[in-house]
Amino acid sequence: MSATSSSTTEATAARCRHFGTCGGCSLQDRAYEAQLSYKKEKVAAALKGMPGLPELSIVGAPQIWNYRNKMEFSFGDVFPPVAGQWLKLGMKPKGRWYHILDLQECFLPSPEAAPLLAAVRTWAEKEKVQPYNSHKKEGELRHLVLREAKNTAERMVVLVTSTGNMPKESFVKAVLSVYPATTILVGRNAKISDTAVSDSFEVLTGTGSVTEALNFSDGSVNYRISPLSFFQTNTKGTEVLYGILRSWTRELKAELILDLYCGGGGIALSLAGAAGKVIGVESNQSAVADAKANAALNRLDNCEFYGSTVEFILPALLDMKPQAAVVDPPRAGLHASAAKALVDMAPPVLFYVSCNPDALARDLMALGEKYTVDRLVCVDLFPHTDHVETVAWLTRK
């Protein structure tokens, strides 16, 4: 099927008034089936010319609206000044990092997100709290971060500020008047870099974290998520993706499986109920701490996590003769040394998870020296955007 066929260009009315300006949902004007066709063709095009590949399939998202469990909104001042308007709160349009789109609606988080933005704008104007100006490097309000569990009732609001000096009691009241937050925090980011990452936090209400669950056909796993924890942004889609890996692991009857680039342990903990033992590796020490804490939360004593680069520790782990290794590298793909170790020491099975079709194609070519690709499945975690995840089962020749 060509990239210009009717199935991939079937038009529909964009639901959001900001479509075309926001830049976030670039495919929102295509019917969902057409989006899936486009994404499948995108991956197929990247893999074109590779011999012996199985048929590529794609699994759609269980929920195509209100699916995101994390959103980051930015504050900005109004320039040139407009009478009666104090600040903007919303998204940065694609390629225009010094501008703020004053967001009136968004259909990716929960329906309560838009009323929350309006309430926070009203609060800031009433309290005369200045938005941060990235040109002048001054102002207090920088970002508003939401983390919304989809399988529990827990929700987090983080107000990222420059100093934390703002009316906190009235902020909490403003949030709770329209939004069912179970925990509210103030973060402080005094750095020049304009990111939603805080150096420190003050908990205003609740515990400072939320608990999310991933539910599978044969069990569930709980994850305690703090403000800086990594967690896939589509909970229901992640259940599909990790569920495939869990099913494959159970089919393999793996006694030992490695989770390389394990992050906060999302995949490792999902596989623990289907394997004898899972060992995760991650270079980010904060993510390793999250993984260990969540293993304890779920009473999973068959998970171990190590803080190290994959390329450094991988040869020692492969000496343990695992039945399989899950590879979920950053967008750039496998480190060359890690790819070499996998080829040289070749565990029987690799499960490769990729968010970048081009990096996937390059790595599959490199691994093809020792492996054949038996299964290829695309999973849509990001409806209305051009992003897609792909998972492959590779078997040693």
Write the CATH number for 280. Answer: 3.40.50.150
Q: How far apart are CA 237 and CA 389, in angstroms?
A: 10
Q: How far apart are CA 297 and CA 291, in angstroms?
A: 10
Q: Does a structural domain hold residue 308?
A: yes
Phi, psi of 204 (to 5 degrees): -95, -40
Q: What pLDDT, on a 0 to 100 scale, did the predictor assign at position 134?
A: 79
* Same-domain pairing of 77 and 59: no
* Same-domain pairing of 115 and 190: yes
Domain end: 178, 212, 246, which one? 212
Q: Does a structural domain hold residue 303?
A: yes
In single-letter form, the type of residue at position 160 comes to: V
* Same-domain pairing of 339 and 370: yes
* Same-domain pairing of 365 and 266: yes
Q: What pLDDT, on a 0 to 100 scale, did the predictor assign at position 78?
A: 81
Contact 186, 159 (CB under 8 A): yes
Write the CATH number for 159. Answer: 2.40.50.1070
- The bridge status of strand 324-327 relative to strand 256-260 is parallel
Q: Does a structural domain hold residue 17?
A: no
Determine how many CB atoms are found less than 10 A away from the CB of residue 65.
Answer: 13
Q: What pLDDT, on a 0 to 100 scale, did the predictor assign at position 285?
A: 92
* Same-domain pairing of 381 and 267: yes
Determine how many CB atoms are found less than 10 A away from the CB of residue 86.
Answer: 18
Determine how many CB atoms are found less than 10 A away from the CB of residue 1.
Answer: 11
* Same-domain pairing of 56 and 76: no
Residues 6 or more apart whose Cβ sits within 8 Å of residue 312: none
Contact 164, 185 (CB under 8 A): no
Determine how many CB atoms are found less than 10 A away from the CB of residue 281.
Answer: 25
Q: What pLDDT, on a 0 to 100 scale, did the predictor assign at position 192?
A: 81
Q: How far apart are CA 283 and CA 361, in angstroms?
A: 24
Which of 282, 304, 281, 307 has its CA nearest to residue 292?
Answer: 304
Contact 77, 131 (CB under 8 A): yes
Phi, psi of 120 (to 5 degrees): -70, -40
Q: What pLDDT, on a 0 to 100 scale, did the predictor assign at position 353?
A: 98
Q: How many domains does the chain have?
A: 2
* Same-domain pairing of 189 and 272: no
Q: Does a structural domain hold residue 7?
A: no
Q: Is the dihedral of CA 42, 46, 51, 54 positive or negative?
A: negative
pTM, entire model? 0.93
Q: Does a structural domain hold residue 253?
A: yes
Structure tokens of 264?
């906060």
* Same-domain pairing of 80 and 56: no
Q: Walk along the chain (397 residues) and give the pLDDT tens digit of each residue.
A: 333 334 455 788 999 999 989 878 999 999 999 999 999 999 999 999 899 999 999 999 999 999 999 999 999 988 766 777 789 999 988 777 678 999 999 999 999 999 999 999 999 999 999 999 878 888 999 999 999 999 999 999 999 999 999 999 999 999 999 999 999 999 999 888 778 889 999 999 999 999 999 999 999 999 999 999 999 999 999 999 999 999 999 999 999 999 999 999 999 999 999 999 999 999 999 999 999 999 999 999 999 999 999 999 999 999 999 999 999 999 999 999 999 999 999 999 999 999 999 999 999 999 999 999 999 999 999 999 999 999 999 999 9
* Same-domain pairing of 97 and 239: no
Contact 142, 162 (CB under 8 A): yes
* Same-domain pairing of 241 and 154: no
Q: Does a structural domain hold residue 225?
A: no
The domain containing residue 97 runs over which residues? 70-212
Structure tokens of 360?
């996937």
Q: Is the dihedral of CA 116, 122, 126, 129 positive or negative?
A: positive
Q: Does a structural domain hold residue 138?
A: yes
Determine how many CB atoms are found less than 10 A away from the CB of residue 5.
Answer: 13
Domain end: 212, 242, 272, which one? 212
Q: Does a structural domain hold residue 135?
A: yes
* Same-domain pairing of 167 and 268: no
Active site residues: 355
Q: What pLDDT, on a 0 to 100 scale, did the predictor assign at position 9?
A: 59
